[in-house]
Each structure stands twice: as structure tokens, then as C-alpha cells.
Structure 1
Amino acid sequence: REQPARRQRRVGGTAMTGRRVVVLGATGFVGRHITRACAAAGHEVLEVSRSPSPAPHGRAVPLDLATATTAQLAGFAAAHRPEVVVNAAGSVWQTNDALMRELNDAFVHRLVTALAQHAAPVRLVHLGTVHEYGPAPAGVPLTEARTPAPAGVYGRTKLRGTRWVLGAARDGLDAVALRVANACGPGAPPQSLLGKAAAQLARRAAQPGAPAELRLSALTARRDFVDVRDVAAAAMAAAFAPREAVQGRVINVGRGQAVAVRSLVERLVELSGPAVRLVEDEPPDGTRGPAQWQQTDITLARRLLGWCPTRTLDTSLRDLLESVAPQRAGMARDGLLPS
């Protein structure tokens, strides 16, 4: 099925040409940046999440994806007639296993089933994760040809979601899956390593008498980190790439570098200002996490999407710190700053 011609709409008296893009999980860390990128490019954005954003970049549509049935999702597609659906919904490992199975696996199955029933052409861009690959030997880049062998519930449930998408693509759905490295940058959730570190540094800045230390789990891994705004740009590139280039593909999205996690945290501390003592808590059983080395190979993204990361990790860290600064946090809650 060919992509439809772009429709023209009027915003503030100005004619704009763009596509109707539905972003699922629009209030999440990555989803927020995708909605902003879509809106900035002139697309009509429908932001779908359980709790609508207080300052949406498009039109907010409340929908609990964890409980939405296939019939409800099909009805949603029929009512809103999206040309692109970006699935940025999901549950990470800090939540319970049941929710990860529901959002990362079962929901994706319902989604692709519903979109397969949709009469009009639609492109699905599904955001997977580098953790679908599982552990890799140090020095070995992760290519899309690697056989996935995830080690935890998060990676396993995300892999099942990706497989639903690829199966639907084999049956004719215009769909592509992006395997995203560890996203960082402004708005990183406090459950993530860098988000947690930035939040602790912000609290210390607001409480001068607090102990001058930053306490985190052991920082022994080397991981691939990519700015969340570069992830949004990759999702946009995948949304509008030629069908023959991306349908049924898995495409890595990362920086293509394995960076020492400790060095990133130390740089975050340096950028935050006053000296802070870094304290690493060893795991009680002395074991390390399974993914001690992660480096994506992004050759395919460059070739098929014309995409590569443009922001340095220093820029990501600076903007992360700015996004959690106390004076900005209250403004963001009041809707005075973009989310």
C-alpha cells in the first residue's frame, strides 16, 4: 500500500503540510521528545497516554494501553485515521513483571492485530530496546544479524513485542522496529542511572547541608548511550522512509560507542558544580548485571534512514542537569516549560 498524499491543514491562519502521527506512550521520556519533534516538523500529532500531558505538543487523547482491547484499538484507528503510529509505550525493569508482560508484549500483539484490520495505509514504528540482544562479549558490536538472547524479563518481553511487529510485517503490515540503546538527556526518568544521579545532584544543590556524596550501584559496565532527541529524530526518519527500505526491518539506534558508565557519572558530577564524593554500592551477592558491554552497530540506520546521532554526550548531560534544576522543576510542573 502506498503512503497517502500529504494533507494540508491550517494552524494559526498558516497552511501546513504534514502527516497525522499518533504517538503511543506520548507522556513517557522518549514519547515526549517524539511528539515535540513531530509537531516541530509540521505534523498533526495525537498524543496517546493514560494520563494526558498538561502541556501537549499536539492533541491529547487519553487511553489506557495496558487495558485497551484489540477492538478498542481498531476503533481508535478507524476514528482517528493515523498515517503513522509510533509505539513509544512500554514498561521498564523498575516496574513489576506483570506490567512488563502486558505493555511490552501483549499490548503490541493487540496493536498490530488492530492495525492489520485498518483499511487505510499506516506506518508503524515500534521502539524496541538494545536489551533484546542480551549479554555480548566485550569488544563485539551488536548488529541486527545477532541472534537475540535477552537475560531479564524486560529484554524478553520487549523481544516478544518486536517479534509481533516483525510477524505482522511479514503478513503485509507496513512496520519497522528500532532497537534503541540507553536513551539519555533532558527529562531522563529518575529510575534510570543518569536520571537518578542527576536527581540526587539536584536535591543536594537545593539542600546545602546535605552530605556531599552521590550514592549509586556499582559502575562497572560499558554501555551505548544516545541522546533522546536523536532517538526522536531516528523515529521520524523511520516514519517517513520508503516502505521498501524499512518494512519488516530491525534497525539499531545508538551512538555506536561503548562508554564507561563511571566516566559518564563522573562527568555529570563535574558539570553539576561543587565537588561530590561518588559512592558505589556493591550488589549484596557480589554479582554484576548481565549486560556489562553494549555497543550498537548503527551502519543500517545510516544507510536506510540517513540517520546518525548529532548530539554529544556532554550536551546530553548538561541538558539533563538543566532539566532537573530546582528552579526549572516548579516551572515545568506549572506548564511554563516544555515537557
Structure 2
Amino acid sequence: MNRDTQGRSAVVIGGTGSLGRPICAALLRAGASHVTAVARHEAPVVPGARLLRADLLDNDNRALDRLVANSDVVVNAAGAGWRGTPDQMMHAHTVLVERLLRLVPPHTRLVHLGSVHEYGEISPRDAADEDHPERPSAPYGRTKLLGSRSVLAAAAEGRTDGVVLRISNVCGPNAPAASFLGTLIEQLHQLPPGSPLDLAVTPDMRDFIDIRDVADAVVRAATAPVAGLVINIGRGEVHAVPTVAQMMTRAARFPRRRVRMHVATMPGSRGGSGAWAKVDVRRAHALLGWTHTICLPDSLRDQWRAAVPPGGSTPGAGMS
């Protein structure tokens, strides 16, 4: 953790979400004096943080305006998620960022969470560094890129002390339910006893990073001299999605003999090999002193355990 965070006040936009909660917790462990989670709806916050219910798109929210204006660090961890509509993504990833940039004073550090999907297609065997061409094809990546570019433009003009952390695919405790792994966990929970798991997956190769490692990167970026930069945050290695699915079923102790996996490519994929999404994380190592610390099997195990209610049993248990 960065000792320079001690005594500072921090605001986390989207602070009750899957990324916002571990970020709040990490800031508190690093010694932040006050951490406020901003969310539109009533939701639990991590111990030690406080909740402010507010909609950042409301132009007449004076409590939020004062809070942001008087904070040392503002983290934007808000997002629409994969299940959002294109309009919801535009508001959450672009319009919200523009509103935030009007509120955050130039001397306040703004840590904006971007996405690996802002790069679009990455060539197989390549690792996208921060200078990689940005050609997203899906609404999620396009709207995230617009938000990131707004932060970078404001930093270049001296209007914000902002940095963009471009995050790879996240996993770990309470990772987004709309993600591939979140959907798999939901499917496992809904299986009747003794039923097989029919799972359709793509042959994609993706870079998975634990949300707790992401939170550590945010804390480091809160005070590091990295304004105006994009910094990739990922494992720096890829795993095949079918392999990761098998790892999750093992974490859930689901009988391997009852897993029926169907690997199918998406229309337009290159040579039937699926997508490749590996990032180069050397800049994070050099400028933040950051590297991932949680191995993928442990991350998936913890993600499964966090999703199992107290006293819950193995999914599909019963008939073999």
C-alpha cells in the first residue's frame, strides 16, 4: 500500500459495486481518513466507509458537488456492465465522466477505471501496451473509450489530475454477475440435483485479474506521479476460457463427469480461434510498483465461496 494515502479523503463513485467495494476497503487499509461510497441506491458499504446516495447525472446535487470538491482522491468505478443497453452504457461510461470532470478540481487526483475492451481486437500472441491502436467494435468498448479519452484530454489541458487504469477481465470475490464467470456461477446454482452442466464457451484467450489486485493498483495510482497516462492492469498472461470454466467447476466441486462443454467460435472470429486479449503490464510495474499477487485458482475459489450462501452445498449434488 502507498503510505502517502494516509490521512487523505477519498470518494469512490460506484462504491457499492463489485469493484467499488474492494477499492473502498483497500483505501481504508492504506490509511485514508474518510472514504465515501457514492451509489444511486441504498446498498451495504464496507466497514469504515460511509454511503452517499446520489446520482452523478443529477446536475443539482449539492451534497455530492461539495463532497467531490473537498476530496483528495476521486475514483470512478461506475459502469453499466455487459447487460446494459447501448443508451445506458453511453450515460454511465461517457456522460457521467463528463459530469465528473466538471466537478473534480484540478488539484484532486482522479483515478478512472477503463477497460481492456477499449483496445478492440488484439492480434494473437501480442500483448497490447498502452500505445496499442484503439479500435473497439462493441458498444461497451466504444463508450468506455470515450470516457477514458475525456479524462486524458482534461489532463492534457490541465483541467484534472487524472489517470486511466485500463482493466483486463476481472474475477475474484463478488466479481460482476454479468461476466462470463458470474453467469457460470449462476448456472451452477440453478442446476437441479444430479443434473449435468451444459456449458457453451468460446475458445477465447483472456487475461483475468483478481479485483483485489485491481484495488491495490487503484490505491497506488491515487498518489503516484502518473497524471495524463493510461496504465494497463492485468495479469499479463492469458488463459483459455474453456480452461477457466473447468477451473471454476473444480472450485465448485462439481463432478467433472457431469460437465458437457461445447466450444464454439463467435461469427467473424479469426480462423475459428476465438478472441485474444492479453495486456502488457510493464508500465504498471515501473510506475506504480504494482504486480498481481493472487493466483488464478485462488481467485476463482474465492469467487465461488463468496457466491455460496452460508450452509450452501455443492451445486447439482445428489444423483451421480
Q: Same fold (TM over 0.5)?
A: yes
Matching of residue 254 in structure 1 with residue 254 in structure 2: no
Residues 328 and 33 (structure 1), Cα distance of their counterparts in 2 relative to 1, 3 Å cut: farther
2:85 aligns to what?
A: 96
Write out per-residue CA displacement over residues 70-122 of structure 1, whole angstroms, 9 at most, x where no aligned residue: x647x63434511000000011231111000001011101111222xx37x21
Q: Distance in 1 between matches of 2:67 and 2:215?
A: 26
Q: Does the CA contact (< 8 Å) of 1:136 and 1:291 recur in 2?
A: no
| 1:67-82 aligned within 5 A | 67-69=57-59, 72=61, 76-79=64-67, 81-82=70-71
The residue that corresponds to 2:173 in the other structure is 186
Q: Partners in 1 of 2:221 and 2:228 — Cα distance?
A: 12
Counterpart check, 1:156 vs 2:157: no
8 Å CA contact retained: 2:21, 2:45: no
Structure 1 residues 33 and 163, CA gap change in structure 2 (3 angstroms)? same
Return the match for 1:311 from 289, 294, 297. 294
Retained in 2: the 8 A contact 1:101–1:157?
Answer: yes
In the alignment, residue 50 of structure 2 is paired with which amino acid?
Answer: R
Distance apart, 1:293 and its partner CA: 0.1
In the TM superposition, what whole-angstrom CA distance separates every residue of 1:132-184 from its partner, at most 9, and x where no partner exists?
Answer: 00011101110101120001110000000001100110111110001000010
Mapped pair 1:269 → 2:249: yes
- Structure 2 unaligned segments of length 5 or more: list them: 313-320
Deviation at 1:40, TM superposition (A): 2.1
One of 100, 121, 125 as aligned partner of 1:135: 121
Deviation of 1:258 after TM superposition, in Å, equals 1.5
Q: CA deviation at 1:266?
A: 0.7
Q: Deviations over 1:281-333 (max 9, x none)?
A: 757x855599700100000000010001000001111001101113278xxxx
Q: Matched residues in 1 for 2:14 and 2:79: separation?
A: 7
Conservation of the 8 A alpha-carbon contact between 1:225 and 1:254: yes
Q: What corresponds to 2:20 in structure 1?
A: 31
How far apart, CA to CA, are the structure 2 residues paired with 1:291 and 1:61? 42
What is the CA–CA distance in structure 2 between the aligned matches of 1:176 and 1:54, rounded to whole Å? 28
Q: 1:54 aligns with which of 44, 50, 68?
A: 44
* TM-score, length-scaled by structure 2: 0.87
- The answer for the alignment partner of 1:225 in structure 2 is 208
Identity %: 37
In the alignment, the residues of structure 2 paired with residue 249 and residue 128 of structure 1 have an alpha-carbon distance, to the nearest angstrom, of: 12
Q: Distance in 1 between matches of 2:66 and 2:262?
A: 51
- Normalised by the length of structure 1, the TM-score is 0.83
Determine if the alignment matches structure 1 residue 215 to structure 2 residue 193. no
Q: Secondary structure at the match of 2:112?
A: strand
Aligned in 2, Cα 1:278/1:287: closer, same or farther, shift over 3 Å? farther
- Please state how far the C-alpha of 1:129 moved relative to its aligned partner: 0.2
Equivalent pairs counted in the alignment come to 301
Cα distance, 1:214 vs structure 2: 4.0
* Pair 1:270–1:56, CA change in 2 (3 A): closer
